[in-house]
């Protein structure tokens, strides 16, 4: 069960990283569009 | 609220990840590794979806001769190849546990390798032609012919030849969905999230591709 918990947290952190990277990229693209 | 769907995606994908590990493995005889099923099938689904988008945008380019459609087609093909690599990696981890080796030249593995080579050649073709209109025309024609090959390699070849890959893991031979409701629901949610992630990255790629000078500023 503890291995499973570590795996869930690791995958959640990876997913959050991907999500935040996409949000950051989205904001930059929108900012450049406005210029 | 324009960003509502992004927040919804964050929550739903997080819920899928938690559900995948909280629930029993979908195939008990395979053990923990069978949880990869929830990521392997959506990756394969997005591959076919992306190659379909690439083909339809290529048709639109040939009809209207606007470079925007070419950018949409090439972005979709690049993403399709990325998801195809993900499906191949997750599939080979399955293969190691169930068949004893990461690569066994099973018809399913061989057909996915040929698919990767076909779209690898598409990307090589694009990088070999400098003139944008000529590149767009050549790669559009190539992409239109590549998609039927993709459908054949994904859906037909593994069923024609004897394959160790399960063909009836979702729908059985009588055409009925054979998995329990919680597993099916988690799989459908995962398919939906993967599709949204594909649409999001594709939109970003197209926005960046429309102005090549932008790439250095990101």
What are the pLDDT digits (tens) for B30-39? Answer: 677 778 888 9
Name which of B17, B204, B208 is nearest A12 (Cβ-Cβ): B17
* A7/B contact by beta carbon, under 8 A: yes
pTM over 0.90: no
Contact B21/A26, CB-based, under 8 Å? no
Q: Which residues does residue B177 pair with via DSSP β-bridges, in sequence order?
A: B171
pLDDT at B25 over 80: no
**pLDDT band for position B52 (cuts 50, 70, 90):** very high
pLDDT at B1 over 70: no
- Residue among A2, A17, A25 with most chain B CBs within 10 A, to mutate: A25
Name which of B13, B17, B204 is nearest A29 (Cβ-Cβ): B204
**pLDDT band for position B154 (cuts 50, 70, 90):** confident
Residues 6+ apart with CB under 8 A from B129: B135, B138, B139
ipTM exceeding 0.90, yes/no: no
Find the Cα–Cα–Cα–Cα dihedral B154, B43, B199, B120, rounded to 10°.
-60
DSSP track, B150-198? HHIIIIIHHHHS--SS-S-SSB-TTS-B-S-HHHHHHHHHHHHHHHHHH
How many Å lie between the alpha carbon of B213 and the closest alpha carbon of chain A? 11
- What is the rounded CA–CA span in Å between residue B117 and residue B160? 21
Contact B214/A7, CB-based, under 8 Å? no
Mean pLDDT of A20-30: 92
Confirm if B21 and A8 have CB atoms less than 8 A apart: yes
Of B189, B183, B202, B170, the closest CA to residue B22 belongs to B183
For chain B, which residues lie within 8 Å of any Cβ of chain A, measuring from their own Cβ?
6, 9-10, 13-14, 17-18, 21-22, 32, 197, 200-201, 204, 207-208, 211, 214, 217-218
Mean pLDDT of B73-88: 96
What is the rounded average pLDDT for all residues in chain B? 87
What is the pLDDT at residue A3? 67
Distances (CA, A) of B175 to B42, B170, B187: 20, 9, 18
Tokens of B172: 């059985």
Mean pLDDT of B77-91: 95
A21: domain range? 1-35
Lowest-confidence region among A15-24, B40-49, B136-145, B205-214: B205-214
What is the pLDDT at residue A30? 86
What is the pLDDT at residue B173? 60
Q: Which residues does residue B171 pair with via DSSP β-bridges, in sequence order?
A: B177
Residues 6+ apart with CB under 8 A from B191: B41, B42, B45
Identify the residue with better confidence: B29 or B190. Answer: B190
- What is the rounded CA–CA span in Å between residue B79 and residue B119? 11
What is the pLDDT at residue B212? 62
- What is the rounded CA–CA span in Å between residue B119 and residue B51? 9
pLDDT at B210 over 90: no
Q: Which residue of A lies nearest to B22 if distances are taken between CA atoms?
A: A4
How many Å lie between the alpha carbon of B18 and the closest alpha carbon of chain A? 6
Contact A7/B21, CB-based, under 8 Å? yes
Provide the domain count of chain A: 1
Name which of B32, B201, B207 is nearest A22 (Cβ-Cβ): B201
Residue B171 has phi, psi (to 5 degrees) of -115, 125
How many Å lie between the alpha carbon of A28 and the closest alpha carbon of chain B? 7
- What is the rounded CA–CA span in Å between residue B148 and residue B8? 34
pLDDT at B61 over 60: yes
Mean pLDDT of B195-213: 88
What is the pLDDT at residue B69? 95
């Amino acid at each position: 069960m503890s291995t499973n918990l570590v795996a869930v947290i690791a995958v959640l952190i990876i997913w959050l990283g991907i999500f935040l990277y996409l949000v950051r990229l989205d904001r930059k693209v929108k900012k450049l569009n406005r210029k | 609220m324009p960003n509502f769907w992004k927040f919804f995606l964050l929550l739903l994908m997080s819920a899928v990840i938690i559900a995948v590990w909280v629930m029993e493995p979908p195939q008990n005889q395979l053990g923990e590794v069978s949880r990869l099923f929830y990521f392997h099938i959506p990756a394969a689904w997005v591959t076919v979806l992306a190659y379909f988008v690439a083909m339809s945008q290529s048709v639109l380019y040939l009809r209207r001769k606007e470079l925007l459609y070419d950018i949409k087609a090439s972005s979709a093909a690049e993403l399709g190849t990325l998801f195809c690599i993900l499906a191949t990696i997750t599939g080979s981890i399955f293969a190691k546990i169930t068949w004893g080796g990461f690569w066994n030249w099973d018809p399913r593995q061989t057909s996915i390798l040929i698919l990767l080579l076909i779209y690898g050649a598409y990307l090589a073709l694009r990088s070999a032609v400098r003139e944008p209109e000529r590149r767009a025309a050549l790669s559009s024609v190539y992409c239109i012919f590549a998609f039927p090959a993709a459908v054949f390699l994904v859906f037909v070849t593994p069923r024609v030849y004897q394959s160790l890959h399960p063909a009836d893991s979702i729908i059985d031979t009588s055409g009925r969905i054979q998995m329990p409701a919680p597993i099916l629901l988690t799989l459908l949610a995962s398919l939906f999230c993967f599709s949204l992630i594909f649409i999001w990255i594709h939109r970003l790629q197209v926005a960046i591709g429309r102005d090549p000078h932008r790439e250095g500023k990101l």
